[in-house]
Amino acid sequence: MTFLPGLKFSVAGQRVLLIAADRATLYLTRGGRLSEALQFAPGSAGEAVFARYLTSAAPTPILLLVDVVEEEYRQDTLPKVSARERHAMLSRRFARQFRGTPYWLAIAQGRETTGRRDHRWLLCALTRPEVVAPWVAALRTARVPLMGLHSLPVVSRALLPKLGAKGPNVLLITVQQGGGLRQSFFRDGHLTVSRLAAMPRGGTLSATEQLLSELDKLRRYINSLALIARDSPLEVYVLSHGSLLEDLRHECRDSDTQRFTLVAVPTVARGLRIPGDVATPYSDMLFAQLLLDAPPRAQYAPRDETRDSRVYRAGVGLLVASALLLLGGTLWSTLDFMAAIALKRQALDAAEKAGFYAERFDLGRRGLPPTRVEPAQITPAVELAAALGARRHTPVPWLQTLGQALAAAPTLRLDAVEWLAAGTPDAPIGTAQPAPLAPDPRYWGYHIGIARGEVRPFAGDYRTAIAAVDGLAELLRANAAVYAVEVLEYPINLSSDAVMSGAPTQAGAVTPANFALKIVLGVAHATPVE
């Protein structure tokens, strides 16, 4: 296990394990940015060191990134079917084309423009699962969450926007510390083919000659497959640094069919906010940071190998939910506490004011003469007097009703009235004995009165006098405010048991035609009284 210079150690945060042909590099992070790299030798020796490291380090999640030769790519099409049928069709295609590996993925790449407009898919697979299986087994043994097993060429697609590569034919060439020369071709922004070639180590060819030679091989290959869009040049982006980049500036020449863009790795590293002074021709850390920033949804790991990651995500979700609940409870409690303080302050102010006014009341009371009634008893008495005043009665409504009726009976003259306010309509007035009347629930009180008078002028025509009294009674009964009207006395006694007696009067003398009426008015609920 070795350490790369210029990076600081920290085991906090998510990690990236880059598995290449001749080494495995573990990138540690701080705040989501790369902070240190640990390297492990290939084979069982490096795998054993990695397993021991996992037992001593914190079990923070790990993303696996694979950059090996044992990765194949196939272009295929599928008709438009349901998700379940599509998965079954893809499983059969992988079982037929990539036998014996559980590590495969499918990436949707749009639709055909002609025919049935089938969906285009890129099928990728690791043909030798033993390249990554020991590293995955070490993670599962240490119960370290595996967040995903990703392909470096698939991740490299996220580098195109950083480079401004928007053309239909883009070839991305990078130098990998643990793998060699990685060449990935993108058609309309979709990965089509990727190839990993070994770089010379002290051989007869220089790195520049080897890179140009591999570029020529890949160009002939994609031309044979008719992958390059017509009428558009091949845009070649080369990422490196130092002498290799300087040599390429002299050797690479643009033409009508090919254009070169040379990019320094430190420039891209600064764009990805990788800390430290990055001065290397290798692009490994760039892909590690891209994977940390935005892991692709398509990845190799089967569901059983990412079980610990789902448990980890659930734990993180519960932790976040608990933190939010705690924060919400704290905020709510703080608001309640502040409200309680405000209410306590208001209560103290009210108590202080009450004491102040009580003291002033006692001082004012001492200067008053002594009374037999306590001040506390005066309030109910005043309220009772106000209630009685609201219920007071005067004969005004009764007299108004009678006066309106008498205005229509000019031969009747009023001599005397008797009036009474009562709670029942049959309350007696003086010596009169009225007929019993039942109370009406519409009324809460009654105006009871007896009107006495005589018919004037009266020349002895009793029939006309009786008709005038009955007319007055009917006129009163027609008034909606009148509850009952009863004729107590006619000008002549009309009862069947009446006895007429007396001495004859002098010639021309006429006995007065007297009458008496009992008139009852009801006082309805919510009616103002007078």
CATH number at 435 reads 3.30.980
Question: Residue 120: what are its φ and ψ, rounded to 5°?
Answer: -90, 140
| pLDDT at residue number 522 | 87
334 domain residue, yes or no: no
- Domain range for residue 152? 2-70+128-301
Q: What is the pLDDT of residues 450-481, one digit of tens each?
A: 999 999 989 888 999 999 999 999 999 999 88
Same domain flag for 296 and 401 = no
417 domain residue, yes or no: yes
249 domain residue, yes or no: yes
356 domain residue, yes or no: no
102 domain residue, yes or no: no
Same domain flag for 271 and 413 = no
172 domain residue, yes or no: yes
Q: What is the pLDDT of residues 163-191, one digit of tens each?
A: 999 999 999 999 998 778 999 999 999 99
Same domain flag for 285 and 412 = no
For residue 392, which of 447, 441, 440 has the smallest C-alpha distance?
447
Same domain flag for 143 and 284 = yes
Which domain-ending residue is among 301, 318, 340?
A: 301
Same domain flag for 58 and 171 = yes
- Counting Cβ atoms within 10 Å, is residue 288 exposed (0-12), middle (13-18) or buried (19+)? buried
* Total domains present in the chain: 2
Same domain flag for 18 and 148 = yes
Which domain-ending residue is among 301, 333, 366?
A: 301
Rounded-to-integer distance, Cα 166 and Cα 161, Å: 7
**Per-residue confidence band for 8, with pLDDT thresholds at 50, 70 and 90:** very low
Same domain flag for 289 and 420 = no
Q: What percent of the chain has pLDDT over 90?
A: 45
Question: What predicted TM-score, i.e. pTM, was given to this entire model?
Answer: 0.60
Same domain flag for 267 and 404 = no
378 domain residue, yes or no: no
Which of 44-53, 83-92, 307-316, 399-408 is least confident?
A: 307-316
- Counting Cβ atoms within 10 Å, is residue 158 exposed (0-12), middle (13-18) or buried (19+)? middle
Which domain-ending residue is among 270, 301, 332?
A: 301
Rounded-to-integer distance, Cα 178 and Cα 187, Å: 27
89 domain residue, yes or no: no
